């Protein structure tokens, strides 16, 4: 059994605990999550997989149970311990009875304040987490009694780092502000050159800031945010979806981007869901043509 992001919303809502990051750390962290699969093992005694589409940022995975398998693009990794997972590739996690994971979904990791790290060097694999987080906090989080305690420990930990280095690294502030602007204002079409001019840097310098902080380019990060939000809207509420709200010229422009986003080799069972989106796309394309007298 494979659960696919955007389509199997009940699975992801009911079998994962999730909490948005406090405002004080929200420029850096999206949310915390933890698997809650105890009631699923009777249904899937041989296990199941959860497939996620590309995203911005990266996830810190803390293994609270038995070994698991993570696929990044077309590469599979046997995971026995914790890991740092870049999120700009499609991923699929294969769960078996005994698996339990805790995750921190980052926009930009505050560890960049304390250690000289260029995240553009962390792209295609899952990397050891031991040198990217304090060993004592990792041990404390794993010993915590529940999800809420883990979130509280990490919120205090990252809030302290952010406050300590507040204002000390302008490049990180620039990247976090641009990402927040794109997400909050649903602005995905402002040229990179305009952002560079706004912050008084060259486009090449802004590109370097993004690659260092997020591992990917400015344009790539913004376009991933764009198609994720548009796809989520289309699936969850197709009647109110308008491709123009996300800066697409028309539905054909949107659908071309959508297909490039969804058709991943790792998601072998995606075709039925793609056909559903094709029907939604055709419906909106017909309505758009009627309105414009075509």
Q: Do residues 132 and 109 make contact, with C-beta atoms less than 8 angstroms apart?
A: yes
* 70-127 pLDDT tens trace: 988 778 889 988 988 888 888 899 999 999 999 999 888 777 666 666 666 666 667 7
Query: CA–CA separation, 280 vs 274, rounded Å?
Result: 10
pLDDT of residue 259: 76
Q: Do residues 65 and 101 make contact, with C-beta atoms less than 8 angstroms apart?
A: yes
Taking 60 as the threshold, does the pLDDT of residue 265 lie above it? no
Taking 70 as the threshold, does the pLDDT of residue 286 lie above it? no
Query: CA–CA separation, 245 vs 237, rounded Å?
Result: 14
Query: 2-164 in CATH: which number?
Result: 2.60.120.10
Domain boundaries, the chain: 2-164
The helix, strand and coil proportions of the chain, stated in percent and rounded to the nearest 5, come to: 50, 20, 35
β partners of residue 70: 77, 93
**DSSP H helices in the chain:** 9-14, 111-114, 135-143, 147-164, 170-185, 192-198, 203-214, 218-236, 251-262, 271-291
Query: CA–CA separation, 235 vs 163, rounded Å?
Result: 39
- 62-100 burial, b at 16+ Cβ within 10 Å, e below that, comes to bbbeeebbbbbbeeeeebeebbbbbbbbbbbbbbbeebb
What's the rounded mean pLDDT across residues 254-264? 74
pLDDT of residue 291: 38
If one compares 63 and 265, the residue with the highest pLDDT of the two is 63
pLDDT of residue 171: 82
Sheet of 58-63: strand order equals 16-20, 29-35, 101-106, 58-63, 83-86
Query: CA–CA separation, 225 vs 81, rounded Å?
Result: 29
Q: Do residues 269 and 4 make contact, with C-beta atoms less than 8 angstroms apart?
A: yes
* 44-59 pLDDT tens trace: 999 999 988 888 888 8
* 123-174 pLDDT tens trace: 666 776 666 788 899 899 999 999 999 999 999 999 988 888 766 668 888 9
For residue 186, what pLDDT band results from cuts at 50, 70 and 90?
A: confident
Taking 70 as the threshold, does the pLDDT of residue 227 lie above it? yes
Tokens of 150: 């883990």
Q: Is 5 helix (H, G, I), strand (E, B) or coil?
A: coil
Sheet of 48-52: strand order equals 2-4, 48-52, 91-95, 68-72, 75-79
Percent pLDDT > 90 in the chain is: 34
For residue 289, what pLDDT band results from cuts at 50, 70 and 90?
A: very low
Q: Is 23 helix (H, G, I), strand (E, B) or coil?
A: helix
Q: Do residues 81 and 63 make contact, with C-beta atoms less than 8 angstroms apart?
A: yes
pLDDT of residue 276: 57
């Amino acid at each position: 059994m494979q659960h696919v992001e955007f389509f199997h919303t009940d699975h992801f809502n009911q079998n994962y605990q999730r909490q948005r990051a406090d405002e004080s750390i929200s420029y850096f962290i999206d949310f915390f999550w933890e698997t809650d699969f105890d009631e699923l093992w009777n249904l899937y005694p041989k296990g199941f997989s959860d497939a996620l589409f590309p995203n911005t940022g990266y996830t810190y995975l803390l293994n609270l149970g038995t070994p698991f398998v993570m696929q990044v693009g077309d590469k599979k990794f046997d995971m026995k311990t914790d890991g740092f997972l870049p999120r700009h590739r499609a991923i699929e996690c294969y769960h078996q009875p005994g698996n339990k994971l805790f995750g921190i979904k980052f926009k930009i990791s505050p560890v960049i304040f304390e250690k000289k790290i260029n995240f553009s060097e962390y792209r295609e694999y899952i990397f050891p987490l031991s040198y990217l987080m304090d060993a004592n906090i990792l041990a404390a989080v794993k010993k915590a009694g529940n999800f809420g305690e883990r979130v509280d420990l990490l919120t205090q930990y990252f809030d302290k780092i952010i406050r300590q280095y507040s204002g000390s690294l302008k490049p990180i502030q620039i990247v976090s502000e641009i990402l927040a602007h794109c997400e909050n204002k649903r602005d995905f079409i402002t040229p990179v050159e305009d952002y560079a001019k706004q912050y008084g840097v060259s486009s090449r310098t802004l590109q370097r800031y993004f690659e260092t902080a997020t591992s990917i380019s400015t344009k790539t990060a913004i376009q991933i945010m764009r198609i994720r939000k548009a796809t989520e809207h289309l699936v969850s509420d197709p009647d109110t979806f308008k491709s123009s709200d996300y800066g697409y010229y028309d539905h054909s422009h949107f659908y071309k981007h959508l297909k490039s986003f969804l058709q991943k080799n790792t998601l072998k069972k995606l075709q039925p869901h793609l056909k559903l989106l094709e029907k939604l796309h055709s419906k909106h394309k017909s309505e758009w043509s009627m309105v414009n007298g075509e």
